Amino acid sequence: MRSFLLIGLLFLRASAAEEIVPSVIAYAKAHAEGDVTASFRAADYRGDLSDLPIGVFDSGVGGLTVLEAIKSHDRHHNLTGEEGADGVPDFVGERFVYFGDQANMPYGNYSAAGRTGFLRELILRDALFLLGRRQARGEKPPVKAIVIACNTATAYGLEDVRAAVKAWGLPVIVVGVVEAGAQGLAETAHGAQGGVAVLATVGTCASNAYPKAIAKVTGRPVRQLGSATLAAAIEGDPSIKSPVRDIIRADVGTFLQAAAADGAAPIDTLVFGCTHYPLVADEIVASFAFWRDYAEADGSKPYAQLVASQLRQVNPAAWTAETLWRSLQAAKMMAKANPVTGDYFYISVPNPAWKGIGLAPDGSLNYEFKYGRSEGQVDREDTIIVPLRPDRLPGATSELVRNKLPLTWQSMQAVR
C-alpha cells in the first residue's frame, strides 16, 4: 500500500510539473496590462523593439560576470559588423536590466531537494520580471532580449522560457550560457583534445546539461565537478564558514581522486559552468596546480599526469556575449539611438509580510522554507524586488565586483 501511495505522489508531482509552463503562460495572458506580479504589458512588444534594453538574470550576483562580458565584448567592427575588434565595445549603445534572485539562491540546490518544479517556476517568474514593468518601487522598462546568465537556470529553464515567449507571441531573443559555453569550447579548442572539466553547482551537474551540449559540438571526454557550497561562499553567505580557497582545494582534490580512480583522460581544459566562478578563476587554477604537484609520503605524484601544466579556460560568459551579438544582428535589433538612461539593477529580498515565511537570524530565507516550497502559485510574493545598490552587495562580493568587473561596478554607482 505504501509503495502505491509513493508512486501516486510521484505521479501527481510529475503531472504538476508538466503544468508549470501552461499555467504561467495562461496567467500572464490573463493580465495583459502587466499590473500584477509575473506579468507584462502586451502592448510593449508591438512595433520596433530595437531601442529597448537587454535583460540579464541570474540566481544571485554571479551573473554580473556575464553582464561584464557583454559590456566589454569587442569582437566586431561597430560600423560594418565585420569580424575584428575596433576598440569600441560591441554593445556600447545598449542599455541593460539586471536581476539577481538573491533571496532564492542558490538555484543549484533545488533539484537535490526534490523541488525542480518550483525551480522551473522561479525561472519563468524571473523572465516575466524582465519582460514586465512592475517592481517594488515604480516601473522598469521592458526588454528586447533575455540572457539567462545562470547555468542552473539555463539547464532547467531555457526551453521553458523560449516556449513561453513563443506562446505569448513576443519577438524577444532568449540566450542561455550553457549552449554558448559549449560553442565557445568548440571554437577555441585550437588543437586541445584532452579531457574537459566542467566546474558547476550540484544542480547544474545533475541536469547533465553541459555534457549534452558539449557532445553536440565535440567528442572530447567531459567530467563534472559539482560544488554544493562554492557559489554561496563567493556570494558571502554567512552560513558558509570555510574560506573560498579551502572549499575550492577540497572540491578539486575530491574530483581528481575520483578521476584518477576511473582512469580518466588527462584534463587540459576548464569550463566555468557557474557564473560565480570566473570571480575566483585564479584560485581554481591554483588548486589544480596544487594537486598536480601534490606528493604522497613515498614521493609519488598521483595527479601529475592527470592535470596538464597549462590549463585552457573557457568562460561561457564571453561566448554568451558573442551569441547575443549574433542573434541581435541577425534580427536587426541592435539599438539605433543612444541610450537616454543608464542600466537598471535589481535584487530579490525576503518579504517579511508574507504569511508563514521562514527567516534565518541574518534575515534571509531559512533552509526549510526556501526548499520546502512547491510550484503552483505564480503570483506568490514571499520575496520582493528592490534596486541593487553597491551597498547591498556582501563585503567580499563587493570587493570582487569592484576589482574584477569595472564596467559593471561603474554602472552600478548610478543606482538609487
Using alpha carbons, list the distances in angstroms from residue 415 to 29, 167, 187, 326: 31, 34, 37, 29
Taking the C-alpha atoms of residue 212 and residue 222, their distance in angstroms, rounded to an integer, is 10
Query: Pairing between strand 145-148 and 173-176?
Result: parallel
- Annotation says 150 is catalytic: yes
Q: Are 116 and 100 within 8 A, CB to CB?
A: no
Residue spans of beta strands (DSSP E) within 75-221:
96-100, 145-148, 173-176, 195-201
Which of 66, 52, 50, 51 is closest to 99 using CA atoms? 66
- Among 66, 259, 274, 314, the active-site one is 274
- Domains of the chain and any CATH numbers: 10-177+318-412 (3.40.50.1860), 180-315 (3.40.50.1860)
Amino acid at 410: Q
pLDDT computed for residue 150 by the predictor: 92
Hey, which residues does 307 pair with through a beta bridge?
A: 267
DSSP state of 41: B
Looking up cell 541574518 gives 362
| Residues contacting 217, CB < 8 A, separation 6+ | 182, 183, 185, 186
Sign of CA dihedral 373, 374, 380, 385: positive
Q: Which three cell numbers stand for residue 139?
A: 516601473
* pTM for this model (two decimals): 0.85
- What are φ and ψ of residue 244, in 5° steps? -55, -45
Taking the C-alpha atoms of residue 390 and residue 394, their distance in angstroms, rounded to an integer, is 9
Radius of gyration of the chain (CA): 21
As to burial, measured by CB atoms within 10 angstroms (0-12 exposed, 13-18 middle, 19+ buried), residue 338 is exposed
Looking up cell 551569441 gives 323
- Among 20, 103, 150, 165, the active-site one is 150
Q: Are 225 and 264 within 8 A, CB to CB?
A: no
Q: Which three cell numbers stand for residue 109?
A: 540546490
Cβ atoms within 10 Å, residue 265: 16
- Annotation says 274 is catalytic: yes
Q: Which three cell numbers stand for residue 321?
A: 556575449
Tens of pLDDT along the chain (416 residues) come to: 444 443 343 333 444 456 899 999 999 999 999 988 889 999 999 999 999 999 999 998 889 999 999 999 999 999 888 999 999 999 999 999 999 999 998 888 898 889 999 999 999 999 999 999 987 566 789 999 999 999 889 999 999 999 999 999 999 999 999 999 999 898 887 767 789 999 998 888 999 999 999 999 988 999 999 998 998 888 788 888 899 999 999 999 999 999 999 988 899 999 999 988 988 999 999 999 999 999 999 999 999 999 999 999 999 999 999 999 999 999 999 998 777 678 999 999 999 999 999 999 989 999 999 999 999 999 999 999 999 999 888 777 888 889 889 999 999 998 86
Sign of CA dihedral 100, 101, 106, 110: negative
DSSP state of 354: S
Taking the C-alpha atoms of residue 358 and residue 356, their distance in angstroms, rounded to an integer, is 6
Taking the C-alpha atoms of residue 90 and residue 84, their distance in angstroms, rounded to an integer, is 11
- Preceding peptide of 106 cis, ω within 30°: yes
As to burial, measured by CB atoms within 10 angstroms (0-12 exposed, 13-18 middle, 19+ buried), residue 74 is middle
Taking the C-alpha atoms of residue 323 and residue 326, their distance in angstroms, rounded to an integer, is 5
Q: Note the helical H segments in 91-208.
A: 116-131, 151-167, 177-187, 202-207
Residue 185's H or E segment, with its range, is helix 177-187
- What are φ and ψ of residue 57, in 5° steps? -135, 155
pLDDT computed for residue 136 by the predictor: 58
Greatest CA separation for the chain: 72
pLDDT computed for residue 276 by the predictor: 85
- What are φ and ψ of residue 370, in 5° steps? -60, -45
Which of 222, 217, 102, 109 is closest to 156 using CA atoms? 109
pLDDT computed for residue 4 by the predictor: 41
